[in-house]
Amino acid sequence: MRMLHTMIRVGDLEASKRFYCEALGMKVLREEDFPDGKFSLSFIGYGDESSNTVIELTYNYGQAEYALGDAFGHIALGTDDIKAACERVRSLGYKVVREPGPMKHGTTVIAFVQDPTGYKIELIQS
Protein backbone atom coordinates (compact mmCIF):
# COMPACT_ATOMS: atom_id res chain seq x y z
CA MET A 1 0.00 0.00 0.00
CA ARG A 2 0.97 3.61 -0.44
CA MET A 3 -0.64 6.98 0.17
CA LEU A 4 -2.34 8.28 -3.02
CA HIS A 5 -3.75 11.71 -2.22
CA THR A 6 -5.20 14.08 0.33
CA MET A 7 -8.52 15.70 -0.58
CA ILE A 8 -9.44 19.21 0.49
CA ARG A 9 -12.61 21.11 -0.42
CA VAL A 10 -12.05 24.55 -1.91
CA GLY A 11 -14.38 27.49 -2.45
CA ASP A 12 -12.67 28.82 -5.59
CA LEU A 13 -11.01 26.13 -7.71
CA GLU A 14 -9.17 28.52 -10.05
CA ALA A 15 -7.76 30.60 -7.17
CA SER A 16 -6.67 27.43 -5.36
CA LYS A 17 -4.95 26.01 -8.45
CA ARG A 18 -3.10 29.33 -8.93
CA PHE A 19 -1.89 29.26 -5.33
CA TYR A 20 -0.61 25.69 -5.38
CA CYS A 21 0.93 26.00 -8.85
CA GLU A 22 2.33 29.55 -8.79
CA ALA A 23 3.26 29.94 -5.13
CA LEU A 24 4.24 26.35 -4.31
CA GLY A 25 5.43 25.07 -7.70
CA MET A 26 2.97 22.20 -8.16
CA LYS A 27 1.40 21.21 -11.47
CA VAL A 28 -2.16 20.33 -12.40
CA LEU A 29 -1.95 16.63 -13.18
CA ARG A 30 -5.54 15.93 -14.20
CA GLU A 31 -9.00 17.39 -13.86
CA GLU A 32 -12.49 15.95 -13.97
CA ASP A 33 -15.88 17.64 -13.92
CA PHE A 34 -19.03 15.86 -12.73
CA PRO A 35 -22.00 18.07 -13.71
CA ASP A 36 -24.58 15.49 -12.54
CA GLY A 37 -22.89 15.37 -9.15
CA LYS A 38 -22.29 19.14 -9.15
CA PHE A 39 -18.58 18.97 -8.35
CA SER A 40 -15.18 19.27 -10.02
CA LEU A 41 -11.84 17.69 -9.10
CA SER A 42 -8.35 18.90 -9.80
CA PHE A 43 -5.37 16.73 -8.88
CA ILE A 44 -2.17 18.69 -8.26
CA GLY A 45 1.32 17.76 -7.20
CA TYR A 46 5.02 17.60 -7.94
CA GLY A 47 5.02 14.45 -10.05
CA ASP A 48 3.00 11.72 -11.68
CA GLU A 49 0.32 10.13 -9.52
CA SER A 50 1.69 6.66 -10.20
CA SER A 51 4.67 7.36 -7.96
CA ASN A 52 3.87 10.56 -6.00
CA THR A 53 1.31 11.53 -3.38
CA VAL A 54 -0.85 14.41 -4.63
CA ILE A 55 -3.57 16.79 -3.45
CA GLU A 56 -7.12 16.47 -4.73
CA LEU A 57 -8.84 19.86 -4.81
CA THR A 58 -12.62 19.35 -4.72
CA TYR A 59 -14.96 22.16 -5.71
CA ASN A 60 -18.66 21.65 -4.98
CA TYR A 61 -20.75 23.87 -7.26
CA GLY A 62 -22.02 26.93 -5.43
CA GLN A 63 -20.07 26.28 -2.22
CA ALA A 64 -17.78 29.28 -1.73
CA GLU A 65 -16.86 28.81 1.94
CA TYR A 66 -16.20 25.99 4.39
CA ALA A 67 -15.90 25.78 8.15
CA LEU A 68 -12.41 24.29 8.35
CA GLY A 69 -12.92 22.85 11.82
CA ASP A 70 -10.23 22.08 14.31
CA ALA A 71 -9.50 18.42 13.53
CA PHE A 72 -7.50 18.96 10.33
CA GLY A 73 -4.01 20.32 10.93
CA HIS A 74 -2.02 21.10 7.80
CA ILE A 75 -0.22 19.84 4.71
CA ALA A 76 3.59 19.78 5.02
CA LEU A 77 6.08 20.42 2.21
CA GLY A 78 9.87 20.17 2.33
CA THR A 79 11.95 22.96 0.80
CA ASP A 80 15.66 23.62 0.36
CA ASP A 81 15.22 27.39 0.81
CA ILE A 82 12.40 28.23 3.20
CA LYS A 83 13.04 31.99 3.13
CA ALA A 84 12.86 32.13 -0.69
CA ALA A 85 9.70 29.99 -0.63
CA CYS A 86 8.03 32.41 1.79
CA GLU A 87 9.12 35.42 -0.27
CA ARG A 88 7.65 33.82 -3.42
CA VAL A 89 4.34 33.21 -1.62
CA ARG A 90 4.30 36.77 -0.28
CA SER A 91 5.29 38.35 -3.62
CA LEU A 92 2.31 36.66 -5.28
CA GLY A 93 -0.04 38.25 -2.74
CA TYR A 94 -0.62 35.21 -0.51
CA LYS A 95 -0.27 35.06 3.27
CA VAL A 96 2.74 33.91 5.26
CA VAL A 97 1.13 33.29 8.63
CA ARG A 98 4.29 32.17 10.45
CA GLU A 99 7.68 33.44 9.40
CA PRO A 100 10.57 30.96 9.05
CA GLY A 101 12.17 30.01 12.34
CA PRO A 102 12.80 27.09 14.66
CA MET A 103 9.78 25.14 15.79
CA LYS A 104 8.73 25.53 19.39
CA HIS A 105 10.72 23.18 21.63
CA GLY A 106 12.93 22.09 18.71
CA THR A 107 15.45 23.14 16.10
CA THR A 108 13.69 22.27 12.81
CA VAL A 109 13.11 25.45 10.80
CA ILE A 110 9.47 25.79 9.73
CA ALA A 111 7.06 28.39 8.35
CA PHE A 112 3.35 28.40 7.57
CA VAL A 113 1.56 29.86 4.55
CA GLN A 114 -2.17 29.95 3.88
CA ASP A 115 -4.07 28.99 0.73
CA PRO A 116 -7.11 30.94 -0.58
CA THR A 117 -9.57 28.68 1.29
CA GLY A 118 -7.70 29.13 4.59
CA TYR A 119 -5.81 25.84 4.79
CA LYS A 120 -2.39 26.03 6.41
CA ILE A 121 0.63 24.69 4.54
CA GLU A 122 3.72 24.00 6.64
CA LEU A 123 7.06 24.57 4.94
CA ILE A 124 9.94 22.61 6.45
CA GLN A 125 13.57 23.45 5.72
CA SER A 126 15.18 20.26 4.42
- Per the CB < 8 A criterion, the answer to whether 112 and 123 are in contact is yes
* pLDDT in the model for residue 18: 98
Q: Is 32 a catalytic residue?
A: no
pTM of the model: 0.91
pLDDT, tens digit, 9 for 90 and up, residues 34-54: 999 999 999 999 999 999 999
Query: Which member of 22, 31, 56, 122 is catalytic?
Result: 122
CA–CA dist 60, 28 (Å, integer)? 18
pLDDT, tens digit, 9 for 90 and up, residues 76-115: 999 999 999 999 999 999 999 999 999 999 999 999 999 9
pLDDT, tens digit, 9 for 90 and up, residues 54-83: 999 999 999 999 998 888 899 999 999 999
- Per the CB < 8 A criterion, the answer to whether 113 and 123 are in contact is yes
- Per the CB < 8 A criterion, the answer to whether 83 and 89 are in contact is no
CA–CA dist 40, 36 (Å, integer)? 10
Q: Which residues of 62-83 are buried (b: 16+ CB within 10 A; e: fewer)?
A: eeeeeeeeeeeeeeebebeebe
* pLDDT in the model for residue 71: 84
Domains of the chain: 1-63 (3.10.180.10), 74-126 (3.10.180.10)
